[in-house]
Amino acid sequence: MKILITGSNGLLGQKLLHKLRVDSSLDLIATSRGENRVSEKNGYTYLALDITDEKAVAQIIAMQKPDVVINTAAMTNVDLCEAEKENCDALNVNAVQYLADACQQIDAHLIHISTDFIFDGEDGPYKEEDEPNPLSYYGLSKLKSEQLLQTHAVKWTVLRTIIVFGVAENLSKGNLVLWAKGALEKGDPLNIIDDQFRAPTLAEDLADACILAAKKKALGVFNASGEDIMSIYEIVERIANHFGNTTENLNKISTATLNQTAGRPPKTGFILDKSKKVLGYNPHSFEDCLTIIDKQLNK
Ligand SMILES: NC(=O)c1ccc[n+]([C@@H]2O[C@H](COP(=O)([O-])OP(=O)(O)OC[C@H]3O[C@@H](n4cnc5c(N)ncnc54)[C@H](OP(=O)(O)O)[C@@H]3O)[C@@H](O)[C@H]2O)c1
Over residues 123-156, the pLDDT tens digits come to: 999 999 999 999 999 999 999 999 999 999 999 9
Distance between CA 35 and CA 44 in Å, rounded?
15
Residue 202 gets which letter from DSSP? E
Q: What is the mean pLDDT of residues 8-17?
A: 98
Catalytic pick among 46, 98, 138, 233: 138
Q: Which helix (H) or strand (E) holds 2?
A: strand 2-6
Please report the pLDDT score of residue 52 as a whole number: 98
- 272 in helix, strand or coil? coil
Distances (CA, A) of 83 to 87, 89, 132: 9, 12, 22
CA of 281 to the centre of ligand 1 (A): 22
Residue 176, number of CB atoms within 10 A of its CB: 16
Atom of ligand 1 nearest to the CA of 203: 16
Q: Which residues line ligand 1 (CB under 6 A)?
A: 6-7, 9-13, 32-34, 49-52, 72-74, 76, 91, 113, 115, 161-164, 171-173
Residue of the nearest CA to atom 18 in ligand 1?
10
List, for residues 53-63, the tens digit of each pLDDT value: 999 999 999 99
Q: What is the mean pLDDT of residues 106-125?
A: 98
Q: Which residues pair with 230 in a beta bridge?
A: 198
Best residue among 6, 12, 157, 177 to mutate for probing ligand 1, ranked by most atoms within 8 Å of CB: 12
Instruction: Give residues with Cβ within 8 angstroms of 288, minimum separation 6.
Output: none
Q: Is the predicted pLDDT of residue 299 greater than 90, yes or no?
A: no
Distance between CA 235 and CA 119 in Å, rounded?
21
Best residue among 5, 11, 112, 206 to mutate for probing ligand 1, ranked by most atoms within 8 Å of CB: 11
Best residue among 8, 76, 78 to mutate for probing ligand 1, ranked by most atoms within 8 Å of CB: 76
Q: Which of 19, 296, 263, 299 lies closest to 181 in space, CA to CA?
A: 296
Please report the pLDDT score of residue 92 as a whole number: 98
Distances (CA, A) of 156 to 149, 251, 279, 289: 7, 43, 14, 29
259-263 long-range Cβ contacts below 8 angstroms, 24+ apart: 260/78, 260/79, 261/79, 261/82, 261/83, 262/78, 262/79, 262/81, 262/82, 262/135, 262/136, 262/137, 262/138, 263/135, 263/136
Residue of the nearest CA to atom 19 in ligand 1?
10
Is 138 catalytic? The answer is: yes
Check if the beta carbon of residue 212 is closer than 8 Å to that of residue 218: yes
Check if the beta carbon of residue 192 is closer than 8 Å to that of residue 232: yes
Atom of ligand 1 nearest to the CA of 116: 6
List, for residues 158-210, the tens digit of each pLDDT value: 999 999 999 999 999 999 999 999 999 999 899 999 999 999 999 999 999 99
Q: Is the predicted pLDDT of residue 259 greater than 90, yes or no?
A: no
Distance between CA 241 and CA 238 in Å, rounded?
5
CA of 244 to the centre of ligand 1 (A): 31
Percent of the chain with pLDDT over 70: 100
Percent of the chain with pLDDT over 90: 98
Average pLDDT value over all residues in the chain: 97
Domain ranges of the chain: 2-174+199-227+269-284
| Cα angle: 191, vertex 176, 156; to 5 degrees | 140
Burial class (CB in 10 A: 0-12, 13-18, 19+), 50: middle
Domain 2-174+199-227+269-284 CATH superfamily = NAD(P)-binding Rossmann-like Domain (3.40.50.720)
Instruction: Give residues with Cβ within 8 angstroms of 282, minimum separation 6.
Output: 208, 276
pTM: 0.98
